[in-house]
């Protein structure tokens, strides 16, 4: 049976109509599952019995079943491993950030968009698992719903989306390789009569699918774009990011320029620092020159080492020296606070651990 979270409201209305149920009941259902966050059809008290029975005989509820939840020692990070209807596994991470002088207190949910990934980035546990299938809209959105339920238990009903909740498509998979479902999921997350998460609180991350970046620029949605650049030149980038052989760095930067021109929005570049691979002063100089003309922000991310990869984390002196050079080029940058290393919070790592990959 297809999960109710896969169905657009208009289609729920059509289903209700054909079963002789008044269409406005679809609005009540929508409110129950996306605002009140009911956990089963039986919990929905606003619907008549005939509507509940119709739903139970035609739809399943959440498409996610929890397999493992791990909490980091400092309690800032929870990682969830979910089983899907076909027994595939995906991960979601919840990160809690306290106010730090620069940014307010916030909660960030890192969601998956695919089972596995075909792009094979060399430092990534998901890339090492290969690609299995695209996630559906319901499977993407339900990750947020399940975590939001937990946050409400933790923080109370007054938990405020607008100010506190960020969604990042940085879990398993390349969201722009699952383009139409990712966009439909963004609409669902953003729906003011549903989850009502502001587009500016949603970030889509890509490792550099140039044509899709250009498509996204034309979508007229206010989401943030994060581009995983990870190196300032083709030779270095192609060693860890094979898609660079299809869309080299010059094309990627051109696409980002175009994106900024069309949307007037900054691009967030992500740079995973790998000891001895991309973390030298000369890499930093090249990166500074490359990004200086762009409206952008750079996130420097010390790698979460994976079992199968030889890449090690850069030491803190190197990270700081790298950032100093970037600052010289007037590029705003952050060293991303590391979260959940003790629970394998890096993309794909919990699944690898669970399956002994
Ligand atoms: S880093 Fe992202 S794009 Fe690259 S293999 Fe991992 S999930 Fe795929």
pLDDT digits (tens, 9 = 90+) for 49-102: 999 999 999 999 999 999 999 999 999 999 999 999 999 999 999 999 888 777
Taking the domains of the chain in order of start, what are their residue ranges? Answer: 2-60, 65-355
Which ligand 1 atom is nearest residue 114's CA? Answer: 7
Residue 106 and residue 75: Cα distance in Å, rounded? Answer: 14
Hey, do 2-60 and 65-355 end up sharing a CATH topology, with the first three levels equal? Answer: no
The response to whether residue 177 sits with its C-beta less than 6 Å from ligand 1 reads no
Which option is the CATH number for 2-60: 1.20.200.10, 1.10.150.530, 1.10.8.60, 3.90.850.10? 1.10.150.530
User: 24 pLDDT band (50/70/90 cuts)?
Assistant: very high
pLDDT at 123: 85
CA distances from 348 to 237, 247, 264, 289, 318 (A): 21, 24, 33, 33, 26
State percent of the chain over pLDDT 90: 82
Tens of pLDDT, residues 150-189: 999 998 877 766 668 999 999 999 999 999 999 999 999 9
Ligand 1 pocket test: pick from 119, 270, 303 the residue with the most ligand atoms within 8 Å of its Cβ: 119
Q: Which of 91, 146, 174, 270 is catalytic?
A: 91
User: What topology is assigned to 65-355 in CATH?
Assistant: TIM Barrel (3.20.20)
**Average confidence score pLDDT of the chain:** 92
Give nearest CA residue, ligand 1 atom 4.
Answer: 121
Distance of CA 66 to the CA centre of its chain: 18
8 A C-beta contact, residue 167 and residue 106: no
Tens of pLDDT, residues 71-86: 999 999 999 999 999 9
Residue that has been written with the tokens 């947020």 in this structure:
144
Q: Report how far ligand 1's centroid is from the alpha carbon of 91 (Å).
A: 13
Q: Which of 110, 121, 256, 347 is catalytic?
A: 347
User: β-strand 77-83 against 65-71: which pairing, if any?
Assistant: antiparallel
The response to whether residue 117 sits with its C-beta less than 6 Å from ligand 1 reads yes
Q: Is 91 a catalytic residue?
A: yes
Residue 116 and residue 177: Cα distance in Å, rounded? Answer: 12
Residue that has been written with the tokens 């996306």 in this structure:
34
The response to whether residue 124 sits with its C-beta less than 6 Å from ligand 1 reads yes
């Amino acid at each position: 049976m297809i999960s109710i979270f896969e169905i657009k409201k208009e289609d729920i209305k059509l289903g209700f109509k054909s079963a002789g149920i008044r269409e406005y009941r679809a609005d009540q259902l929508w409110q129950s599952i996306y605002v009140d966050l009911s956990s089963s059809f039986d919990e929905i008290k606003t619907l008549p019995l005939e509507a509940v029975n119709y739903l139970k005989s035609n739809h399943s509820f959440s498409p996610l079943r929890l397999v493992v939840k791990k909490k980091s020692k400092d309690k800032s990070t929870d990682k969830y491993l979910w089983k899907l209807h076909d027994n595939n596994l995906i991960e979601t991470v919840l990160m809690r950030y306290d106010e730090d002088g620069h940014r307010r207190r916030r909660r960030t949910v890192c969601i998956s968009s695919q089972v596995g990934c075909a792009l094979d980035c060399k430092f990534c546990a998901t890339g090492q698992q290969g690609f299995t299938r695209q996630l559906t809209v319901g499977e993407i959105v339900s990750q947020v719903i399940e975590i939001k339920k937990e946050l409400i238990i933790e923080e109370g009903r007054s938990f405020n989306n607008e100010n506190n909740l960020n969604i990042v498509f940085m879990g398993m998979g390349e969201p722009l390789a699952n383009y139409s479902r990712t966009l439909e999921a963004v609409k669902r997350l953003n729906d003011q009569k549903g989850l009502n998460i502001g587009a500016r609180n949603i970030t889509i991350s890509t490792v550099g699918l140039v044509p899709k970046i250009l498509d996204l620029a034309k979508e007229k949605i206010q989401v943030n774009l994060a581009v995983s650049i990870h190196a300032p030149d083709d030779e270095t980038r192609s060693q860890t990011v094979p898609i660079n052989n299809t869309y080299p760095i010059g094309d990627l930067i051109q696409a980002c320029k175009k994106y900024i021109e069309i949307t007037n929005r900054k691009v967030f570049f992500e740079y995973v620092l790998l000891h001895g691979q991309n973390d030298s002063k000369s890499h930093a100089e090249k990166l500074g020159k490359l990004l200086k003309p762009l409206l952008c922000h750079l996130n420097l991310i010390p790698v979460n080492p994976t079992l199968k990869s030889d890449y090690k984390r850069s030491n803190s002196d190197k990270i700081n020296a790298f950032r100093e050079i970037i600052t010289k080029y007037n590029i705003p940058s952050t060293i991303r606070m590391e979260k959940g290393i003790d629970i394998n919070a890096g993309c794909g790592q919990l699944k690898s651990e669970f399956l002994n990959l």
